[in-house]
Amino acid sequence: MSKNVLQIVAGVVFFIWAKWLASDELRPELFGMAIGVAAALLIEVFFFLYNERNFLRLYFNSIILKPNSEIRLSIAYLFKIECRGKYLLVKNSRFKKETYQPVGGVYKFYHPEATHKLSCMSIITDNSIKNDEKSEHDLRLKMSKRKNLRKFLKWFFNSEERETDPWREFYEELIRTNILPSNHFKYIYYNMVGQHFEPIHEDSYYKIDTFKYVEVFTPRYTNQKQKDEIEKLLSVSSDDFIWVTEEEIKKKFTIDGKRISDHAHKIFFTKKLD
């Protein structure tokens, strides 16, 4: 039995005892105890509402409106890589249409550490896309009962049993592909500059209610060589990556007609959740 349930039970017992069972001498003390319990509960409610203020609408949708409905989860991160007013995008190899997007991808969970916990939240792998070695253990999932969404978010923000470092996609999309030289990019540091989630909505592609959350990072280069190598890319012509302006990202097309992903604009979300 949870602490809050015990508090409610205790408060009710004190009130009933004071109202109908206690002597005149004991009654004021019991009423005082009942009021104290109620005040403590009220403080906890206000504390909860303040701490969860960013997610209240989300919880209303998932816990109150459609608690037993299926929902798709996509929990990702993006890099905002800027140089001289332009932003670096790389080719997305997953879709048939040639599209460019920010460096980044979906977080992964650790197997088997997190598998049991996710299963207890009625979560399974999303089979809407081809699952291969690269996408294995992605936090691209399906939850059969969305009332568990708050429990999932608490697990995610606890940052255990899951990937927390965005280096993997930076390495896979820029270093392994030889866009940047490995000798100067053994590793990078980074700053989280934004967090963003969309209200639950039907995804136009997968035709299912979806919750998308993304974290935005900027590289924090460890030396001047790394900055120089990024700057060199401005003068390189390649099909693997492009440099674009904010205006082009918002239009979803470059001046010369290259397609930009729908989610690329999210790198400009710079508000962090408290």
- The string of pLDDT tens digits covering residues 8-31 is 777 788 778 777 887 888 888 887
CA separation, residue 234 to residues 80, 81, 249 (Å): 15, 12, 17
- Tell me whether residue 96 is exposed, middle or buried, using C-beta atoms within 10 angstroms of its C-beta: 0 to 12, 13 to 18, 19 or more: exposed
Q: pLDDT tens digits, residue range 136-147?
A: 899 999 999 999
Amino acid at 97: K
The mean predicted confidence, pLDDT, of the chain is 90
Could you tell me which residue, 4 or 64, shows the higher pLDDT? Answer: 64
Residues 6+ apart with CB under 8 A from 168: 105, 108
| Rounded Cα gap, residues 111 and 162, in angstroms | 9
pLDDT tier, 1 (very low <50, low <70, confident <90, very high otherwise): very low
Q: pLDDT tens digits, residue range 157-210?
A: 999 999 999 999 999 999 999 999 999 999 999 999 999 998 999 998 889 999
Q: What is the DSSP letter of 62?
A: I
